[in-house]
Amino acid sequence: MYVLQSARFSLLTINFSLLKLHYLISLNRFLSNICNTKTYVMNFPADVRYTKDHEWIRLDGNVATIGITDFAQHELGDIVYVDINTIGQTLSAEGLFGTVEAVKTVSDLFLPVAGTVLEANPLLEKQPELVNTDPYGDGWMIKLTVSDPASVSALMDSAAYAALVG
C-alpha cells in the first residue's frame, strides 16, 4: 500500500513539474516576443506640410512634390502598386489623384491643394516599395503645379500632424 501511494505521489510530482515546465516555456516565449518587438518611430519632417488624409506636400516655388506620410505607409503595410492616371489634369484641393495598393488594401490618394498634375514618380512603376522605405524622398508620388502657393501654409505643420496621429 505504501509503495502504491508513493508511486501516486511521484506521478503527481512529475505531472506538477511538467506543468511548471510548460508554464515556464510559455512565459519564456511570451517574454521573448515582447523583447523582440521592434518599436516603430514615426518620421515627421519639418520641411513639409500635412493633410488629415495623410498626404504630405513640399513646395518649391509653385511646384509641389506630394506623397503619403510615414504614418500612412506604415498603416497600409507593404505597398505593391501605385496608380496615378491624372497627369496633365487640373484638380481641386482634396481631389482624387490616384490610388495606392498594399498587400491588404487599396487606398485613394487626395491632393492637399488645387493644381495641375505634372508628373508621376517613374521609379514607383518598378519599385513601389520606395513608398515604404523612403516616403519623403524617393517614394514621392506626384509633382504638381500649385494654383495658389499660399494655400500650402494652411495645412498642418509637423507638430500638428504628429499630434493628430499620436
pLDDT of residue 67: 98
* CATH number for the domain formed by residue range(s) 49-165: 2.40.50.100
- What is the rounded distance in angstroms from the CA atom of residue 49 to the CA atom of residue 58? 7
151: DSSP letter: G
Q: Which residue has the higher pLDDT, 118 or 3?
A: 118
Quick one: pLDDT at residue 63?
A: 98
Q: Residue 20: pLDDT band by 50, 70, 90 thresholds? A: very low
How much of the chain exceeds pLDDT 70, in percent?
Answer: 76
Per cent of the chain over pLDDT 90 is 73
Q: pLDDT tens digit string along 24-82?
A: 444 445 544 555 555 567 889 999 999 999 999 999 999 999 999 999 999 999 999 99
Using alpha carbons, select from 148, 85, 69 the residue that is nearest to residue 114. 148
Cell numbers given for 142: 506626384
pLDDT in tens, 111-159: 999 999 999 999 999 999 999 999 999 999 999 999 999 999 999 999 9
Strand-pairing partners, residue 59, are 64
* Domain spans of the chain, in order of start: 1-37, 49-165
